[in-house]
């Protein structure tokens, strides 16, 4: 910690975000619209750490005999160009038609230059030199282009049809597979519009169904093409030589991952939409999954994996929305509750038997096989801690990497009953996907005051907490958490924290590190006041002041910093997306904001 406070870090960032559009009505009902959006940023970061020596016993763990300098700078921009032609017309008062043609172009570019060096002469010189210097730069480009044709038709709001077709291209695929076709169709029948439903409580009673294809290109750039890794160190003659190596195995046959989406549901509205409800069943099947498969280390590639289109996965479940709206009088309010439940199962992996991810301490936390959910946790099952030598003698257990078990060690179950604990005893120890996801949104207005409250949460998901490994595993006998004060000792046998060992035998991947990730969170609260119109006079059309708070209250049994962990960490080895693995993720910040909304 002290070393982090020694240096000086100056990070500067500037950004510009904006958009502009133009619209022209060619004839009645036919409009052309063009829009350009820009998101630009640049950065300049400098990090300087002087020489230091904090080792009282002459070691080198906490010392550095030279100053180190790191400088990096760059910029990035995202451009979005959209052109659309939209035709809207009603014929004979009952035939409502909308036709849309759209083209879209997305361009993302990132440039950076990175330099580092040492300075053994003086801590007063905060500049790069040629001593142990390294220099690199990179340019990353990602582009997409798409075309859409869509037709919406309804007969007097009663019979509803919608159909569309998209054609998209992505720079993340090879020349023969850049393009994909993605059609969709939807049908609806609003029974409440029938004459026999007049003078009833139903303002909406709609049956609906839809089917469509969507594409996914969410992989790294240039996976289809061979790339090189510069500034790669390799020992030659006892000296670390700098060279260039192949970065990974390319796959020119990569193509779009396609998901077929089927929805069947109904919408209900009562008393002019005062009460609303919707229930929907969905069944999504993703084919040609974009996943990374580990490759043998003998191939010599740096990443150790290749991205492929493998297998399929089915996700199905229900989504329910309930609403209430009261917009009469000085006090108005509305409430919306939504919750969904979903399960997924891997149906096929092609010729691949398994795909692993979540690399941690030489093993893998996550696993994908046919018949199980995506990215389930795979490890040993723990059964408390051996409290006495008698317990050890009764069930001799050999954990991976150890030859003997002593009191105070974690007890693992011998699931295959072969008398030893090995990797063959691993099983499904957790599912990162929640059983239920829910949200509650409340809005209220009283005269010029308004308030909004949003609560969300999940239930039934598991989190693999690697922080417990660091703070309680005691593979090192320093920098542990306070929980180790209650570790197992001969005089403190009743504990769930293993003995102080200084070795890794108690930290095999197991359910010892798996926790319930359920939570309820007050995600946002906003209180606002709008000045009366007679006070504004001719200066403003609206003047509102508000105060807002985010992440104010969280209810959870999870022991980590935040149960709402990131779900898109890339595993360093396989590059697969891992879910539900807490690697010390930065928690969602608690924040308070005050602002003004002014309209002239």
Ordered DSSP codes for 508-558 = SSBGGGEEE--EEEEEEEEEEEE--HHHHTTT-SEEEEEEEEEEEEEEE--
Domain count, the chain: 2
Considering the domain architecture, whether residues 34 and 131 belong to the same structural domain is answered as: yes
Task: Quote the domain boundaries for residue 240.
Answer: 224-253
pLDDT tens string 299-315: 766 666 788 898 899 99
Q: Is residue 200 part of a domain?
A: no
Q: Is residue 509 part of a domain?
A: no
Q: With CA atoms as reference, report the closest residue to 34 among 21, 47, 48, 46.
A: 21
The span from the CA of 255 to the CA of 66, in Å, is 49
Considering the domain architecture, whether residues 103 and 234 belong to the same structural domain is answered as: no
Q: Is residue 114 part of a domain?
A: yes
Considering the domain architecture, whether residues 131 and 31 belong to the same structural domain is answered as: yes
Higher pLDDT among residues 569 and 133, named by residue: 133
Query: Residue 91's pLDDT band (boundaries 50, 70, 90)?
Result: very high
Instruction: Decide which of 86, 111, 136 is a domain's last residue.
Output: 136
Q: Is residue 236 part of a domain?
A: yes
Long-range contacts at 491-497 (CB < 8 A, ≥ 24 apart): 493/387, 493/388, 493/407, 494/387, 495/385, 496/384, 496/385, 497/385, 497/472
Considering the domain architecture, whether residues 1 and 110 belong to the same structural domain is answered as: yes
Q: What is the mean pLDDT of residues 424-433?
A: 94
Considering the domain architecture, whether residues 242 and 118 belong to the same structural domain is answered as: no
Instruction: Decide which of 202, 237, 253 is a domain's last residue.
Output: 253
The span from the CA of 192 to the CA of 521, in Å, is 37
Q: Residue 380 gets which letter from DSSP?
A: B
Q: With CA atoms as reference, report the closest residue to 414 among 401, 402, 427.
A: 427
Considering the domain architecture, whether residues 132 and 25 belong to the same structural domain is answered as: yes
Q: What is the three-class DSSP state of 599?
A: strand
- The radius of gyration computed from the CA coordinates of the chain, to the nearest angstrom, equals 30
% of residues, the chain, pLDDT over 70: 92
Q: What is the three-class DSSP state of 479?
A: coil
Higher pLDDT among residues 331 and 57, named by residue: 331
- What pLDDT score does 403 carry? 53
- What pLDDT score does 382 carry? 92
% of residues, the chain, pLDDT over 90: 56
Res. 569: pLDDT tops 90? no
Q: Is residue 543 part of a domain?
A: no
Long-range contacts at 455-460 (CB < 8 A, ≥ 24 apart): 455/520, 455/521, 455/522, 455/523, 456/520, 456/521, 456/523, 457/518, 457/519, 457/520, 457/521, 458/434, 458/517, 458/518, 458/519, 459/434, 459/435, 459/518, 460/434, 460/435, 460/436, 460/518
Q: What is the mean pLDDT of residues 200-224?
A: 94
The span from the CA of 555 to the CA of 557, in Å, is 7
DSSP 110-157: EEEEEEEEEE-S-TT--S--STT-EEEEEEEEEEEEEEEEEEEEEETT
- What pLDDT score does 265 carry? 97
Q: What is the three-class DSSP state of 295?
A: coil
Question: For 18, left (φ over 0), alpha (ψ -120 to 50), or beta?
Answer: beta
Query: Residue 271's pLDDT band (boundaries 50, 70, 90)?
Result: very high
- What pLDDT score does 131 carry? 80
The span from the CA of 315 to the CA of 434, in Å, is 13
Strand stretches in 221-361, DSSP E: 228-236, 239-246, 257-270, 275-294, 305-326, 331-348, 355-360
pLDDT tens string 509-562: 999 999 999 999 999 999 999 988 777 667 777 889 999 999 999 999 999 999
Q: Residue 423 gets which letter from DSSP?
A: G
| Weakest-pLDDT range from 114-128, 248-262, 569-583 | 569-583
Considering the domain architecture, whether residues 132 and 229 belong to the same structural domain is answered as: no
Residues 587/519, Cβ–Cβ less than 8 Å: no
Burial (CB count within 10 angstroms: exposed 0-12, middle 13-18, buried 19+), residue 390: exposed
Residues 378/367, Cβ–Cβ less than 8 Å: yes
Q: What is the mean pLDDT of residues 272-292?
A: 94
Higher pLDDT among residues 117 and 60, named by residue: 117
Res. 2: pLDDT tops 60? no
Could you tell me the pTM of the whole model? Answer: 0.82
- What pLDDT score does 5 carry? 63
Q: What is the mean pLDDT of residues 314-321?
A: 97
The span from the CA of 586 to the CA of 23, in Å, is 43
The answer for residues whose C-beta is within 8 angstroms of residue 540's C-beta and 6 or more apart is: 531, 598, 599, 600
| Weakest-pLDDT range from 33-47, 291-305, 310-324, 370-384 | 291-305
Across the strands, what pairs with 402? none
pLDDT tens string 487-515: 889 888 877 888 887 667 788 899 999 99
Residues 518/458, Cβ–Cβ less than 8 Å: yes
- What pLDDT score does 3 carry? 58
Res. 576: pLDDT tops 60? no
Query: Residue 56's pLDDT band (boundaries 50, 70, 90)?
Result: low
The span from the CA of 492 to the CA of 499, in Å, is 10
- What pLDDT score does 502 carry? 66
Q: Is residue 375 part of a domain?
A: no
Q: Is residue 234 part of a domain?
A: yes
Query: Residue 577's pLDDT band (boundaries 50, 70, 90)?
Result: low
Res. 473: pLDDT tops 50? yes
The span from the CA of 378 to the CA of 578, in Å, is 13
- What does the buried/exposed string (b/e) look like for 539-559 if buried means 16 or more CB atoms within 10 Å of the residue's CB? eeeebbebeebbbeebebebb
Averaged pLDDT of the chain: 88
Residues 443/528, Cβ–Cβ less than 8 Å: no
Which helix or strand (DSSP H or E) is residue 424 part of? none
pLDDT tens string 183-200: 999 999 999 999 999 889
Q: Is residue 242 part of a domain?
A: yes
The span from the CA of 286 to the CA of 258, in Å, is 6
Considering the domain architecture, whether residues 105 and 234 belong to the same structural domain is answered as: no
Which of 97-106, 241-250, 323-332 is the most confident on average? 97-106
Instruction: Decide which of 213, 238, 253 is a domain's last residue.
Output: 253
Higher pLDDT among residues 481 and 301, named by residue: 481
The answer for residues whose C-beta is within 8 angstroms of residue 59's C-beta and 6 or more apart is: none
Query: Residue 8's pLDDT band (boundaries 50, 70, 90)?
Result: confident
Considering the domain architecture, whether residues 236 and 126 belong to the same structural domain is answered as: no
Residues 447/529, Cβ–Cβ less than 8 Å: no
Q: How many CB atoms lie within 10 A of CB 467?
A: 17
Considering the domain architecture, whether residues 240 and 123 belong to the same structural domain is answered as: no
Res. 387: pLDDT tops 80? yes
Considering the domain architecture, whether residues 132 and 249 belong to the same structural domain is answered as: no
Q: With CA atoms as reference, report the closest residue to 494 among 557, 554, 408.
A: 408
- What pLDDT score does 379 carry? 94
Higher pLDDT among residues 239 and 252, named by residue: 252
- What pLDDT score does 572 carry? 44
Q: How many CB atoms lie within 10 A of CB 154?
A: 19
Res. 402: pLDDT tops 60? no
- What pLDDT score does 573 carry? 43
DSSP 220-248: -TTTTS--EEEEEEEEETTEEEEEEEE-S
Considering the domain architecture, whether residues 112 and 233 belong to the same structural domain is answered as: no
């Amino acid at each position: 910690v002290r070393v982090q406070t020694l240096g000086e870090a100056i990070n500067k960032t500037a950004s510009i975000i904006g958009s502009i559009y133009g619209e022209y009505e060619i004839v009645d009902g036919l409009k052309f619209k063009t829009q350009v959006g820009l998101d630009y940023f640049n950065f300049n970061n400098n990090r300087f750490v002087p020489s230091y020596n904090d080792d009282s016993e002459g070691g080198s763990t906490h010392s550095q005999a030279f100053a180190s300098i790191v400088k990096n700078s760059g910029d990035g921009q995202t451009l979005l160009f959209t052109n659309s032609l939209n035709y809207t017309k009603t014929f004979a008062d009952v035939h409502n038609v909308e036709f849309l043609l759209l083209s879209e172009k997305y361009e993302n570019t990132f440039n950076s230059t990175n330099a580092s060096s040492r300075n053994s002469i003086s801590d007063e010189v905060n500049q790069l030199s040629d001593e142990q210097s390294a220099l690199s730069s990179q340019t990353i480009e990602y582009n997409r282009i798409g075309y859409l044709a869509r037709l919406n038709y309804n007969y007097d709001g009663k019979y509803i049809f919608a159909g569309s077709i998209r054609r998209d291209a992505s720079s993340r695929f090879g020349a023969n597979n850049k393009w994909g076709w993605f059609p969709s169709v939807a049908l609806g029948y609003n029974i409440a519009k029938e004459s026999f439903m007049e003078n009833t409580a139903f303002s909406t009673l709609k049956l609906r169904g839809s089917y469509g294809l969507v594409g996914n290109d969410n992989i790294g750039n240039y996976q289809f093409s061979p790339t090189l890794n510069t500034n790669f160190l390799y020992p030659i003659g006892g000296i670390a030589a700098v060279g260039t190596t192949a970065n990974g195995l390319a796959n020119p046959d990569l193509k779009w991952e396609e998901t077929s989406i089927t929805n069947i549901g109904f919408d209900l509205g009562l008393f002019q939409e005062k009460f609303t409800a919707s229930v929907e069943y969905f069944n999504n099947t993703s084919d040609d999954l974009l996943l990374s498969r580990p490759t043998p280390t003998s191939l010599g590639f740096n990443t150790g994996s290749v991205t492929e289109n493998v297998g399929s996965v089915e996700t199905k479940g229900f989504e329910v929305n309930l609403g209430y709206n009261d917009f009469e009088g000085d006090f108005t309010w509305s409430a919306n509750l939504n919750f969904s439940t979903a399960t997924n199962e891997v149906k096929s992996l092609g010729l691949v038997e398994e795909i692993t991810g979540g690399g941690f301490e030489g093993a893998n936390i996550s696993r994908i096989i046919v018949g199980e959910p995506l990215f389930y946790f795979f490890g040993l099952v723990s059964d408390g801690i051996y409290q006495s030598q008698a317990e050890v003698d009764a069930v001799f257990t050999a954990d991976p990497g150890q030859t003997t078990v002593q009191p105070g060690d974690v007890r693992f179950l011998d699931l295959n009953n072969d008398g030893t604990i090995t990797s063959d005893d691993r099983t499904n120890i957790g599912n990162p996907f929640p059983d239920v996801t829910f949200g509650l949104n409340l809005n209220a207005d009283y005269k010029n005051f308004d308030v909004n409250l949003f609560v969300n949460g999940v239930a039934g998901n598991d989190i693999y907490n690697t922080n417990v490994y660091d703070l309680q595993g005691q593979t090192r006998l320093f920098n542990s958490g306070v929980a180790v004060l209650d570790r197992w000792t001969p005089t403190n046998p009743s504990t769930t924290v293993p003995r102080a060992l200084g070795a890794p035998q108690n930290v095999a991947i197991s359910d010892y590190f798996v926790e319930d990730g359920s939570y309820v969170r007050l995600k946002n609260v906003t209180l606002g006041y709008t000045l009366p119109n007679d006070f504004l006079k001719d200066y403003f059309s609206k003047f509102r002041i508000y105060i807002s708070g985010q992440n104010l209250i969280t209810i959870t049994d999870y022991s980590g910093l935040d149960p709402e962990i990131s779900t898109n960490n890339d595993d360093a080895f396989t590059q697969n997306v891992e879910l539900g693995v807490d690697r010390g993720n930065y928690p969602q910040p608690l924040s308070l904001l005050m602002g003004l909304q002014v309209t002239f």
